[in-house]
Amino acid sequence: MTQVLVTGAAGFIGSHLCESLVARGCDVRGLDAFTTFYDPNRKRDNIDGLLDDPAFEVIEGDLLNARLDEALDGVDVVAHLAGEPGVTTSWGPDFDRYVDRNVLATQRLLEAASARGVSRLVYASSSSVYGTGADVLKANGEPRPASPYGVTKLAAETLVGAYAGTGLSAVSLRYFSVYGPRQRPDMAAHRFIESLLDGRRLTVFGDGLQVRDFTFVDDIVEATVQALFADLPPGAVLDVASNHPTSVNTLVGHLEALVGSEARLDTAGERRGDVPRTEGDIDAAREQLGWRPTVDLRTGLQRQLDWHRAIRVQSQSMARVPA
C-alpha cells in the first residue's frame, strides 16, 4: 500500500487531495497546523468525513517545528500543499509569516524528505510566480512575481529545484486560481457566492476586466495525483490551469445566472499585487502527465454553489439543535 504524506491536508485543496488518494487505495497521513488565516473550524469540517477512515490519519503540527522524521516514517511520496496563501495580505508587516510558512517550512520538509529518501515530493506552487510584464502574460515566460506572496512561492519552488539537483525527486505544479467546494473564504468566487446568497452588495476590485485561468479543484487534484506517481524529470515545473482564461466580470455573470439573482456591484480600487491576466500553458502537463482539465467553469461553479447552499442548511439545522 502506498503511504502518502499530505501537508496542508485540512485546507481547501489538501482536503480534496486526501479524499481522492484514500479513494484510490492509498494510506494518507495528513499534516496541518490549522492556522488562523481563516477559521480553523472550517478546516476541521473539511476533513471531518475522513476521520473515521482507517486509511487516513491526521497529525496536528507545524512544519516549522514538527517531528518530521516521525511524520515521514514509512512515507513513499509527499504532496506539499501547506502554506500561507493570499496575494494582498502578503504586503507589509505580515511578510515574515509568508517567509516562515512558505519558504522556511518548505526547506525543512525538503531536508527531511531528502534524508528519508522519499521517492517523490510534489510542491504546490502558484501562478503568482508570474508577474505582469508582456513577456510573462503567457505562462512559462520568465517568472517575475508581482507580490511578496509570489516571491515566497517562487523561492520555495527554487528550493525544490535545488533539492531535486541533489537527488530528491521533487517537482512543482503551478496551480492557477483554484475554485470549487470548500474554497477559501478570501477568494473571489467564494465571496461573490456568499454575497449573492445573502442579497448583499458584492465588491469587485479593479475594473473586473482582469482575467484569471480559473481551475476546478478536482482537476487540480487529478494533476497532483498524477505528478506524485508519474515518471518526471526531477525539478520539473508544470502549469496546471483550465486553459480558459475568463474575466472577473464574466465570473460574476455566471454566478448571477446560477444563483438566479442580479448582483449589486460595488467597485473598489485594484488591489496591490493583483495582475491583469493569468493564463496557464498546459502543454507540458498534457505531455508529461497525460493530464487535461475536464470541468468547465459553469459546471464547476454549480458544484461550488451547491456546497455553499449545503453548509448553510447544515449550520441552520445545527442552530436549531437545543443546547
Q: Kindly list the catalytic residues.
A: 149
Position 13 contacts ligand NAD (CB under 6 A): yes
For position 67 contacting ligand NAD by CB under 6 A, the verdict is no
Residue 153 near residue 128, CB atoms below 8 Å: yes
- Where do we find the cell 487535461? 292
Helices and strands counted in the chain (H then E): 12, 13
- Between 43 and 254, CB nearer to ligand NAD: 43
Contact (CB, 8 A) for 81 and 6: yes
Q: Does 89 bind ligand NAD (CB under 6 A)?
A: no
Which amino acid type is present at position 62? D
From residue 102 to residue 121, the character string flagging contacts with ligand NAD as x (rule: CB under 6 A) and all else as - is: ---x----------------
By CB under 6 A, residue 58 contacts ligand NAD: no
Asked if 10 touches ligand NAD (CB under 6 A), the answer is: yes
- Beta strands 246-247 and 211-212 are antiparallel
Residue 262: CB partners within 8 Å, gap ≥ 6? 256
What's the closest the beta carbon of residue 65 comes to ligand NAD, in angstroms? 9
Phi, psi of 237 (to 5 degrees): -130, 120
Cα 83 to its chain centre, rounded Å, is 9
Q: Is 43 in the site for ligand NAD (CB under 6 A)?
A: yes
- The answer to the question of residue 211 lying near ligand NAD (CB under 6 A) is no
* 101 is a site residue for ligand NAD (CB under 6 A): yes
Instruction: Enumerate binding residues for ligand NAD (CB under 6 A).
Output: 7-8, 10-14, 31-35, 37, 43, 62-64, 81-85, 101, 105, 124, 126, 175, 177-178, 184
